[in-house]
A and B are shown apart, each in its own frame.
Chain A
């Protein structure tokens, strides 16, 4: 199966996010970036399908943040081709980004396109459904696990619902799936293999397509959420905090 996977860089939320003086965008000057978690699962799902049924995995990414490291890691894990979309600016919103990914993916002619269902820095929907629209392919998202179905030319995708319930969806190919989780956790790859991939992997550069820049929404301001009724913070050593928690539980009759 010929599979394309989109991977994106997102700001690491361990670091505080800085708002630019304009108040309407982030100041990424001091931010660090990492691979979007659900994209990591999309890549893992693609590699699992390839290992089980054969095929070819192409990873597609916009040139942004620490993407080279992400792409070398993908190659070390088993991706066959890496396509990097050349671009100077930060990634555009999902709908416009989807057009960029679509133009890079069309020549690959994949049977299956896997994308993380969501990235935490997106405000106007995920890339995955807009990519499906741009490619003219069907879409279903919030998928946790994909199997090659009994029907030729189709896969079974497991769509997550509340209560640990899944819907088994039969998906005719070609199609785009929004991945929430892979059948297995993303694999670990040793640094030595990543270094090896750095020496042997050639990125294929793809020119960024022209994107209509007329946004349908406008950010008036970014701001940290207002602190609601913040928790009463317990301080002291771990032993002191533990003792305080026991007192609270005892007062409520939860520990006797």
Chain B
């Protein structure tokens, strides 16, 4: 039975993705039980430059190919497939990232391998893996048994304590048996956010609104409160999808990661993708009418009331305090 664990050390704009060190930790948990090794795989011409940060791996493989210079699904999946076929790992671990959401299912489809998303815990159980996975917006968990290998697991960032140990692993350049094809999807360049908006990553106080704000006109209530607190308004994805605030105000996996002194979550359920971007705040107060909302699991204080009722009262109370 396969013993090793292959970790895709994803590079995004010349930096390793933060989830990489969590994947290495998860990989170590599995490999310790199977007696195998943790293999880190870096794709891209500058892959070797990232090797020193991957000391927690037993082996570091780098596929240096110009087709991997920027992300495109075809060459990425082809390279990962080649290495997977050569190494025959027990599991392949990827982050639940923009790239992971492409590559993991495409690889699973190509090699007919089992795939589990939203992984928060992974434990070997005999020759199988037992995976605890979060879904339904963080409101439900499933324990999934995976017998086949390689098990392809997409790990939710924030689920494992990062492994950043220094190690002795040498870089192994990997040559693929044939040159990578460009594929039908080609990277054409980055589109960066327009400058000029508030930088929510630099704010001490954030008033964050979600679906509970109900309509765009109600944003004014949040703006008033943010003004009274000397902070800024930000939002979860549904508000951005409605076009009520620019993408630069989005907090979460696909938005900004913020660590303010105070984060007020208003009408935000707290799906894992949102928590990923704000759980590092010093003080979190959550307001939601749903007592089961996952946001209450990470908030320090909570209130089960309608945000539209609380907002004017809170603004008034802040202003009264400030005189």
Q: Which of B113, B186, B303 contacts A169 (CB 8 A)?
A: B186
Q: Which of B144, B186, B300 contacts A220 (CB 8 A)?
A: B144
B105 at the interface (CB under 8 A from A): yes
Q: Which of B119-152 contact A (CB under 8 A)?
A: 130, 133-148
Contact call B241/A185, Cβ cutoff below 8 A = yes
Closest to A182 in B: B241
In whole angstroms, how far apart are the Cα atoms of A12 and B6 in the complex? Answer: 37
Q: Which of B118, B144, B322 contacts A255 (CB 8 A)?
A: B322
Q: Which of B276-323 contact A (CB under 8 A)?
A: 282-286, 290, 292, 294, 296-305, 309-310, 313-314, 316-318, 321-322
In whole angstroms, how far apart are the Cα atoms of A14 and B148 in the complex? Answer: 35
Contact call B296/A230, Cβ cutoff below 8 A = yes
Q: Which of A151-200 contact B (CB under 8 A)?
A: 156-172, 175, 178, 180-181, 184-185
In whole angstroms, how far apart are the Cα atoms of A245 and B154 in the complex? Answer: 38
Contact call A164/B255, Cβ cutoff below 8 A = yes
Contact call B72/A124, Cβ cutoff below 8 A = no
B24 at the interface (CB under 8 A from A): no
Contact call B317/A169, Cβ cutoff below 8 A = no
B50 at the interface (CB under 8 A from A): no
B115 at the interface (CB under 8 A from A): yes
What 1/0 mask marks residues of chain B from 66 to 89 whose CB sits below 8 Å from any chain A CB? 000011111000000000000000
Q: Specify which chain B residues have a CB less than 8 angstroms from the CB of A157 in the assembled complex.
A: 185
Q: Specify which chain A residues have a CB less than 8 angstroms from the CB of B294 in the assembled complex.
A: 225
B116 at the interface (CB under 8 A from A): yes
Contact call A248/B310, Cβ cutoff below 8 A = no
Given contacts A133-B110, A231-B302, contact A123 B254 (CB under 8 A): no
Contact call B136/A162, Cβ cutoff below 8 A = no
Closest to B72 in A: A169
Given contacts A13-B137, A164-B193, A234-B303, contact A95 B109 (CB under 8 A): yes
Contact call B316/A222, Cβ cutoff below 8 A = no
Closest to A253 in B: B261
Nearest chain A CB to B290 CB, angstrom units: 7
What 1/0 mask marks residues of chain A from 134 to 152 whose CB sits below 8 Å from any chain B CB? 0000111110000000000
Q: Which of A14, A118, A162, A222 contacts B290 (CB 8 A)?
A: A14
Q: Which of B105, B184, B285 contacts A248 (CB 8 A)?
A: B285
B1 at the interface (CB under 8 A from A): no
Which one of B36-44, B53-61, B242-250 is at the interface? B242-250
Q: Which of B231-277 contact A (CB under 8 A)?
A: 238, 240-243, 246-248, 250, 253-257, 261-262, 269
Nearest chain A CB to B234 CB, angstrom units: 11
Given contacts A124-B117, A218-B145, contact A225 B138 (CB under 8 A): yes
- The count of chain B contact residues (Cβ–Cβ below 8 Å) is 99
User: Which secondary structure dominates chain A's binding surface?
Assistant: mixed
A55 at the interface (CB under 8 A from B): no
User: Which secondary structure dominates chain B's binding surface?
Assistant: mixed
Which one of B96-104, B160-168, B171-179 is at the interface? B96-104
B114 at the interface (CB under 8 A from A): yes
Contact call A242/B71, Cβ cutoff below 8 A = no
Contact call A168/B191, Cβ cutoff below 8 A = yes
Contact call B188/A170, Cβ cutoff below 8 A = yes
B219 at the interface (CB under 8 A from A): no
Q: Specify which chain B residues have a CB less than 8 angstroms from the CB of A90 in the assembled complex.
A: none
Given contacts A169-B187, A217-B114, A217-B146, contact A245 B106 (CB under 8 A): no
Contact call A139/B135, Cβ cutoff below 8 A = no
Contact call A231/B187, Cβ cutoff below 8 A = no
Nearest chain B CB to A28 CB, angstrom units: 13
Nearest chain A CB to B235 CB, angstrom units: 12
Closest to B201 in A: A163
Contact call B301/A175, Cβ cutoff below 8 A = no
In whole angstroms, how far apart are the Cα atoms of A167 and B115 in the complex? Answer: 26
Q: Specify which chain B residues have a CB less than 8 angstroms from the CB of A235 in the assembled complex.
A: 303-304
What 1/0 mask marks residues of chain B from 183 to 210 whose CB sits below 8 Å from any chain A CB? 1111111111100000000001100000
Q: Specify which chain B residues have a CB less than 8 angstroms from the CB of A141 in the assembled complex.
A: 101-102
Q: Specify which chain B residues have a CB less than 8 angstroms from the CB of A66 in the assembled complex.
A: none
Q: Which of B73, B243, B301, B304 contacts A185 (CB 8 A)?
A: B243
Q: List 19 A-B contacts (CB under 8 A).
A: A126-B105, A133-B110, A139-B73, A162-B12, A164-B246, A169-B187, A172-B184, A216-B112, A217-B146, A218-B146, A230-B296, A231-B300, A232-B302, A233-B303, A234-B303, A238-B305, A241-B303, A246-B314, A252-B283
Q: Given A162-B254, A164-B193, list of 13 further CB < 8 A pairs?
A: A17-B136, A123-B116, A123-B117, A123-B144, A129-B106, A163-B255, A171-B184, A218-B145, A220-B145, A221-B143, A231-B285, A234-B301, A254-B229
